[in-house]
Amino acid sequence: MAALTYHLTTFGCQMNEHDSERIDGLLESLGYSPAAGPDEADLILLNTCSIRESADRRLATQLGNAKRFKAARPGVVVGVGGCWAQSLKQEVFERYPFVDVAFGPGQVDQLGEFLLADSIEAQGYFEFDGFTADLPMRAVQSAQAWMQISVGCNQKCSYCIVPSTRGLEVSRPFNDLVAEAKVLVARGAREITLLGQNVNSYGRDLRPDRRTFSELLTAVDAVDGLDRLRYTSPHPQDMGAEVVAAHVALPSLCEHIHLPLQSGSSRILKAMRRTYDRERYLGRVAMIRDAVPDISLTTDIIVGFPGETEEDFQQTLDLVSEVQFDAAYTFIYSARRDTEAALITEGVVPAELASERIGRLIELVQENAELRAQRFVGRSVEVLVEGPSRTDPDRVRGRTRHNKPVNFSGLAKAGELVDVEIESATSTSLRGHATMLASALR
């Protein structure tokens, strides 16, 4: 019998992408190999997200396809994991009876148990039993690796579905993380990104020894052979002086911070339950820029939160002009089930107005990003190579420590560190030519 094949589609954030890598590793260890497409796979998996309505819509299309493939080949097994599955729980099976297995975020091991069970019948796995650390790792490790340092979120942002899909925050043990970082580096990782919904509240729940996020940064930075360390996302509330000091002190910690803003209006921030106001956010930015003037700052912004007036929105625009982010992800507010904001009936921003606002915001964000990117022109920057350029096969693609994508001319393989002289910059990427192999100097 030919070996079983699988096809996995991933939606949502890096945490889901990371879970998907773990699913790949698990399935490889069970003897599955990747199928060319979902129509050929014995096992069709969807790792789902529910952060906005658009995510639900994309998923509905994929579920429809899976249903068709299964109708054509009845032996096919369909599984859905991740946040959407978690938020619907048993309803998944009622609404989509062709689904064989559903599991929540992080419960990748449960998928394994299901696949190994004697009889395959629909079962859900929806307890928050944390993060299963010791799954087989994927065979191919790229130079960039993710490491999830906590699961869940203790914040109560009124618009957000995550606390109800990922549960309360649980930090993974400090020593496990340092050990995992060593394994990742031994397997070829040069860059590690620490993942969590609120990474800088890491360690407060650890008993008997509480640990801090900056202690974790220090310990991972000390791992021999690690060139770059990143993290996402920190919460402005917990972005303290020690974390900023770590950016100055730790050689591997990159010159980039993603600091989600959400709104520039203190009134809206309060309604969002973000626990900081406009001034406090600006204070954090000032503290960061004092310590590392050249740092790249990126952010997330929601427009059209219920009650947002033109004046509130103007405050967001003003703050964006003042801070000059290197990039910003912008979203139109989307009401989510089981969230506090979904119950607000007053001041709902009509869709047309919200999309007009986001258009204005994006224009400003792009102007700033392009302006900010000019500071790299003429500079020589270190690039971690990812592979051939997607648009021009004669060029090479990589990323700077400031997290800017670069396309450059020169010869370099994925995983190498190269010095690149920057010739030009747009709002989204840099262009240049390689000068020498930085890694050759080590």
List residues near ligand SAH by CB under 6 A: 51-52, 159-160, 162, 197-198, 233, 235, 260, 262, 300, 302, 331, 333-334, 336
- Rounded to a whole number of angstroms, the minimum distance from the CB of residue 45 to ligand F3S is 14
Residue 331, binding choice from ligand SAH, ligand F3S, ligand SF4, none, Cβ under 5 to 8 Å by partner class: ligand SAH
Smallest distance from ligand SAH to CB 16, Å: 11
Q: Measured between alpha carbons, how far is 324 from 341 in angstroms, rounded to an integer?
A: 29
User: In whole angstroms, what is the distance from residue 417 CA to residue 143 CA?
Assistant: 10
Stretch of 6-14, 155-163, 199-207, 376-384 contacting ligand SF4, by CB under 6 A: 155-163
Work out the burial of residue 277: count CB atoms within 10 Å of its CB; fewer than 13 is exposed, 13-18 middle, 19 or more buried.
middle
Closest CB to ligand SF4 among 25 and 105? Answer: 105
**Cα(298)–Cα(328) distance, rounded to whole angstroms?**
5
Shortest separation between residue 182's beta carbon and ligand SF4, angstroms: 29
Integer Cα distance of 395 and 431 in angstroms: 10
Q: Are 424 and 374 within 8 A, CB to CB?
A: no
Residue 139: enclosing H or E segment and its boundaries? none
Q: Is 81 in the site for ligand SF4 (CB under 6 A)?
A: no
Give the sheet arrangement for strand 43-48, strand by strand. Answer: 33-34, 5-10, 43-48, 77-82, 101-103, 123-125
Candidate residues 198, 263, 296, 298; the one interacting with ligand SF4 per rule CB under 6 A = 198
Shortest approach of ligand SAH to residue 441 CB, angstroms?
A: 37
Binding residues for ligand F3S (CB under 6 A): 12-13, 15-16, 49-51, 82-83, 161-162, 165-166
- Residue count (the chain): 442
Instruction: Annotate 157-177 with DSSP letters as a single string.
Output: -TT--HHHHH-S-EEPPHHHH
Stretch that binds ligand SF4, among 160-168, 224-232, 324-332, 360-368 (CB under 6 A): 160-168
Out of ligand SF4, ligand F3S, ligand SAH, none, what residue 102 binds, judged by CB under 5 to 8 A for its kind, is: none
Q: Which is nearer to ligand SAH, 57 or 442 (CB)?
A: 57
163 interacts with ligand SF4 by CB under 6 A? yes
Minimum distance from residue 278 beta carbon to ligand SAH (Å): 16
Strand pairing category for 430-437 and 405-409? parallel
Beta-bridge partners for 404: none
Q: How far is the CB of 31 from ligand F3S (least distance, A)?
A: 28
Q: Which is nearer to ligand SF4, 7 or 336 (CB)?
A: 336
Rounded-to-5 percentages of helix, strand, coil across the chain = 40, 25, 40
Task: Output the smallest distance, CB 332 to ligand SF4, in A.
Answer: 15
**Nearer of residues 260 and 398 to ligand SAH, judged by Cβ:** 260
**Between 63 and 349, CB nearer to ligand SAH:** 349
Nearer to ligand SAH, 129 or 300 (CB): 300
Q: How far is the CB of 329 from ligand SF4 (least distance, A)?
A: 12
User: Which residue, 181 or 354, is less far from ligand SAH as judged by CB?
Assistant: 354
Q: Does 155 bind ligand SF4 (CB under 6 A)?
A: yes
Q: Which segments of 224-277 does DSSP mark as H helices, in order?
A: 241-249, 266-271
Nearer to ligand SF4, 198 or 265 (CB): 198
Question: Among 27, 135, 157, 406, which residue interacts with ligand SF4 (rule: CB under 6 A)?
Answer: 157
When computed from its CA atoms, the radius of gyration of the chain, rounded to whole angstroms, is 22
Q: How far is the CB of 87 from ligand SF4 (least distance, A)?
A: 13
Can you tell me the distance from the alpha carbon of 68 to that of 143, in angstroms, rounded to the nearest whole number? 38
Q: Which residue has the tokens 């009650």?
A: 307
156 vs 433, beta carbon nearer ligand SAH = 156
Per-position DSSP letters for 77-138, written without gaps between them: EEEEEEHHHHHHTTHHHHH-TT--EEE-TT-HHHHHHHHHSSS---EEE---------SPPP
Point out which residues bind ligand SF4 (CB under 6 A).
153, 155, 157, 160, 162-163, 197-198, 235
